[in-house]
Chains A and B, each alone.
Chain A
Amino acid sequence: MTIKATQPPSAASPATVIIESSDVWDMTLPWLPIYWDMDILRRYRRAGYTFVSLTLQDWPPTFEGMRRTVKQYEQLAAAESSWLTFGSSLAEIDRGRLEGKLVVGLNSQETRVIGEDLALIASLHELGVRHMLLAYNVRNLVADGCAEVADTGLSNFGRQVVREMNRVGIVVDCSHTGRRSSLEAVDLSDQPVIFSHSNAYAICPHIRNITDEQIRACAARGGVIGVVGVGAFLGDAQARTDSLFRHIDHIAALVGAQHVGLGTDYVNILRVEDHGEEWKRIGSSEKSWPDSANAWPDPTGTQISIEASHCFKPEQLEDLVGVMMGHSYSMAEIKGILGGNFRRVYARAEIDRTASQ
């Protein structure tokens, strides 16, 4: 950074040039109302991101609560329309980028928002949701979560949910989902399945990370894995850029760089100190919410606690591109990792949706 300060502002670094000419997507920014701070989105835009997928929902998650939260957010964002816009289709995402705006889309980190009502999946699509986790750490009516010892597969209802997500064009997302359930979802889905924010278990043995078997299965069907910036999942409490790169590099070496993306999960950690009381409220009212005694088991005894973790920051993006260049990643590979790969999955979902109608 000190070196940069001495350079004239016009002499952009090669990394910046790549960033500025790319789709740069972060597939997971948790955005419960307790986090709402437009400055964070400004930082994303300044760092060069073009698209951020927000988790906008209430907790415990309900459809009505999600709709309400989205409406509240829209009101808040209306005042920022000079640089911020909403986009769920690729056309909207591209238009926003051309206008120089940061585009935000929607995800859901639970299928509990639909309860037992398959029809709500189409309603979620209408609302703008484009990827949805099957389960969040613990078992629901659809699948097992990654913290479940029983590690069961998809339920009968879960299979219907995957098929309906395929039909309406919501990408199946298996982050936080149990191993067997995720492998079954990849197998069953007609479209590529993603892990929007998961790291490699081989590098960091944490329940939230995914095994090489899951990575291979996901990639074999055209899916993409977004590496997550949370220190506990990186195996580096400081969340250094090199640590994030190790996960990128492991996945790229295993299945190819075209199956890697970013899902940093940033705010989750940034604000945890400020909102300790809120987290406690969620934790005590809801057993599903992870607490150290319940939903974050540490089978290897090596996991770094989330509370002690930092998170990969938007400002580290340029650094990350530099590291990838330093490791001889090609321009095409880097652009894919920055956003092109997830864009490909979105495009496939849109094409299939159009074809089915």
Chain B
Amino acid sequence: MSGKSSELALQSPPARFDFGLTVEQEARAAALHRRCVVVDLVSQHAGGALFAHYPEELQLEFRVRIDACSNDMSRFLESLYWPYELSKTGRSDLIRDWYHAAGITCGTYGIAVQDGRDDFENQWDAMARRYADLPWLKYVTTAGEIRQAKRDAVVAFYAHCQPTAAIPRDFKAFDTAYSKGLRSFMLTYNLMNELGVGCTERVDAGLSRFGLDVVRHCNEIGMMVDVSHCGDATTLDACRHSRHPVNANHTAARTVFPHARGKSDQGLRAIAETGGVIGIVAVPAFLTGAAVPSIEHMLDHIDHVAKLIGWQHVAIGTDWPLQAPDDVLKSILSPSNTVLGFRDEDRLDVTTRLIGFDDCRDLPNITRGLVARGYADEQIAGILGENALRVFAAVCG
């Protein structure tokens, strides 16, 4: 790790990706990115590179804290929230500065639909709540609040849920999570659960009866239904039965690159027919088999989805890179992959990043790439955030 100060970090953003833009195009991209509401439907905070940019004494302190954690998941959780803790205690606003450099309007935090019996889930929820009162961060539940955050130049965060543990068969758990701010609920992770079947399961089937009830309940209370990790049949089933738009807020197009986490063209069309959006990930393994994955691969998926179902259904859901030092990521992801249902053939390498998307400060590269690929201003504004906001407003208000 290097010992750069946060001031230095601000002065030296990561190398920008060379899209071969003209001076005018660069100016247009920069202005667009400044002007647009930029929504990352599944953000993973600032990215693991952040830690190397703290002053040396803070890096040492972070190491001490990490080493004091009793298990790998606690180390991961500590990595996610320590930068916010530094800001809360007035010791470093580096993460805020990175978000501002990213030009992000709205990102995400995860909470669980749970019955309060799982210690880890409780710990996770409590962590999220602790940073709700940072002056530069605002937890939001409506599209209007996201727009207001843009006007106020603060970062908006909305809560989503990716269920990796058992879901209580009790709507009260959903209502409780909703009251805590949850506005997007994904029906399954990679494996089969009580609601549906995930995308790396050996079987492929539609929603269960309870899953169907959950979709209807989400419709009723104003919660976005998400099918990102769901298998084909569950994806189609959710789209068939939901009265409101269904999203796949972090996925890819399987026609561009064959991966379980991508959606088939049929699935993409079904989502579009509900009025929902497809958030494209920045996860190399889901996008390409190329030896040197880059942001161009991410843009290839955006192009395909836009051509297939219209740019109005494209959004950003990077989900990458994860915010923890590489050694922490390696220690948690390898054992947890088995539990989470990632298989060897899914090639999920937690420390690989796209060239041109090293951390959140590379969000402007997406705008520049869209300009390079000939998208009009309205289309770019849609992909960066307006499309996601449309669904948010329709479902959550």
Q: Count the B residues whose beta carbon is within 8 Å of the partner chain — how many? A: 28
User: Which of B13-21, B196-204, B364-372 contacts the other chain?
Assistant: B196-204
Chain A residues touching B, majority SS: loop
CB-defined contacts of A150 to chain B, threshold 8 Å? 205-208, 233, 237
- Judge whether A115 and B208 touch: CB under 8 Å: no
In the bound complex, residues from chain A placing their C-beta under 8 Å from that of B209 are: 138-139, 147-149, 287, 294-295
Interface residue from A138, A152, A158 paired with B194 (Cβ < 8 Å): A138
Q: Would A155 and B201 count as touching, CB distance under 8 A? A: yes
Known pairs A139-B208, A150-B205, A294-B209; A287 contacts B192 (CB<8 A): no
| A153→B171 CA distance, assembly (Å) | 26
- A144: chain B residues at CB < 8 Å are 205, 208
Q: Which of B159-202 contact A (CB under 8 A)?
A: 165-166, 168-171, 191-195, 197, 201-202
- The answer on a CB contact under 8 Å between A152 and B165 is no
Other-chain residue from B166, B168, B205 in contact with A141 (beta carbon distance below 8 A): B166
Smallest CB gap from A153: residue in B: B203
* B213 & A287 in contact (Cβ 8 Å cutoff): yes
Q: Roughly how many angstroms separate A285 CA and B170 CA in the complex, as a whole number? A: 6
User: A291-307, CB under 8 A of B: which get 1 and which 0?
Assistant: 00011000000000000
Cβ of A36: which chain B residues have Cβ within 8 Å of it?
none
- B27 in the interface, Cβ–Cβ < 8 Å? no
Is B339 in the interface zone, CB < 8 Å from A? yes
Question: With A116-B166, A286-B170, A287-B213 known to touch, is A155 a contact of B194 (CB < 8 Å)?
Answer: no
Determine if A115 and B166 form an interchain contact, defined as CB atoms under 8 angstroms apart.
yes
Interface range for A: 20 to 34
Taking CB atoms, residues of chain B closer than 8 Å to A159 are 202
A141 touches B233 (CB 8 A): no
**Is there an interface contact between B197 and A157, defined as CB atoms closer than 8 Å?**
no
CB distance from A148 to the nearest CB of B (A): 5
Q: How far is the CB of B349 from chain A (nearest CB, A)?
A: 21
CA of A138 to CA of B208, assembled, Å = 7
B residues contacting A by CB (< 8 A) are 165-166, 168-171, 191-195, 197, 201-211, 213, 233, 237, 339, 341
Closest A-B pairs by Cβ, 10 of them = A152-B205, A139-B208, A155-B192, A150-B205, A150-B206, A153-B203, A288-B169, A152-B203, A287-B169, A287-B210
Q: Could you name 19 residue pairs across A and B whose Cβ atoms are closer than 8 Å?
A: A138-B194, A141-B192, A141-B194, A149-B206, A150-B205, A150-B237, A153-B202, A154-B203, A155-B197, A155-B201, A155-B202, A156-B201, A156-B341, A157-B192, A286-B169, A287-B170, A287-B171, A288-B169, A294-B209
- Other than A150-B206, A150-B208, A155-B203, give 5 A-B pairs with Cβ distance below 8 A: A116-B339, A139-B208, A148-B209, A153-B203, A286-B170
